């Protein structure tokens, strides 16, 4: 029989990755705290440990460090159910030190752990066009390569354990900070009297705006902030980046300012797409009574 891949977390990204893995011939099972996910054809097990006991390979796809700790540790955690020689792939965006600690926990029981967060949102997950950012030994990355090939278009071996998590923070930091700059440009344009549709259309036409942010501009123009990447997750990644940047004494003043804007956006629109920052900024201009 084909290998069974057990997903811990089966939300918007994981269920799409799971669908592509099934197309590649793998069997899929899952665990979520609610016992529910985005695909009714996938069996759900009651605990992470029960899932790990059945699965040949475990993929974790949870929202943050706390959720990863809850699903990995303790008597019902995945590590308690994994066998020596097993493979755990953590696609969650977490702090680099969390990834290295998990790798050490796995090594202590003979389990290989790769930190493998992905670059891309739900459209890329659905079309198997993710970029997989992997931290771990080269031989272990090669072992997991068929899985990465099924969910993504490119695998980048970033270095030893924790490197995938670091690269993910670099990418998301640039993504979040750049969106904040674009939103500020829109805010100035609206405040100065430029016609709204013309402004959004002009920015969509110029090469200085990335394809990703053009997609966000189109959504903002229409007022559609359906969550491809929820604000709560983007703000969380920015926070992790700023924390580790301070530890590394890496000055990031522009990213720090963008993090503040995304913190405000998370307070207002936690579960909408992080591009709802446009709505926050536009609302400030629209409700400004300055003569």
Residues annotated as catalytic (active site), given as ranges? 168
Give the residue ranges of DSSP H helices in 55-162: 65-72, 78-81, 96-108, 122-126, 138-151
Q: Is the CA virtual torsion 160, 165, 166, 171 positive or negative? A: positive
Distance CA 73, CA 104 (A): 13
Name the 3-class secondary structure at 56: coil
CA distances from 244 to 51, 157, 169 (A): 32, 20, 9
Question: Using alpha carbons only, what angle is made at residue 38 by residues 34 and 39, rounded to the nearest 5 degrees?
Answer: 110
Q: Where are the beta strands (DSSP E) in 19-173?
A: 27-31, 57-60, 87-90, 112-115, 118-119, 130-135, 152-159
Distance CA 117, CA 132 (A): 6
Distance CA 59, CA 42 (A): 14
């Amino acid at each position: 029989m084909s290998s069974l891949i057990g997903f811990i977390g089966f939300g918007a990204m994981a269920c799409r990755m799971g669908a592509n893995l099934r197309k590649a011939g793998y069997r899929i099972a899952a665990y979520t705290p609610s016992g529910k996910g985005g695909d009714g054809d996938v069996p759900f097990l009651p605990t992470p440990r029960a899932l790990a006991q059945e699965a040949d390979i475990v993929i974790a796809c949870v929202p943050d460090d706390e959720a990863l700790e809850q699903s990995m540790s303790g008597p019902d955690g995945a590590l308690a159910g994994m066998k020596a020689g097993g493979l755990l792939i953590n696609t969650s965006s977490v702090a680099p030190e969390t990834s290295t600690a998990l790798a050490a926990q796995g090594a202590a029981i003979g389990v290989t752990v790769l930190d493998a967060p992905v670059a891309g949102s739900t459209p890329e997950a659905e079309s198997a066009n993710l970029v997989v950012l992997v931290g771990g030994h080269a031989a272990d990355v090669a072992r997991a390569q068929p899985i990465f090939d099924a969910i993504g278009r490119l695998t980048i071996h970033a270095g030893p354990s924790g490197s995938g998590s670091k690269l993910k923070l670099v990418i998301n930091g640039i993504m979040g900070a750049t969106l904040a700059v674009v939103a500020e440009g829109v805010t100035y344009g609206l405040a100065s009297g430029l016609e709204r549709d013309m402004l959004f259309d002009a920015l969509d036409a110029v090469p200085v705006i990335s394809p990703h942010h053009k997609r966000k501009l189109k959504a903002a123009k229409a007022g559609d902030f359906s969550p491809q990447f929820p604000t709560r997750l983007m703000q969380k990644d920015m926070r992790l980046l700023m924390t580790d940047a301070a530890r590394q004494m890496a000055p990031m003043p522009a990213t720090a300012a963008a993090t503040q804007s995304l913190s405000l956006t998370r307070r207002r629109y936690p579960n909408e797409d992080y591009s709802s920052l446009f709505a926050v900024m536009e609302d400030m201009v629209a409700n400004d009574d300055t003569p």
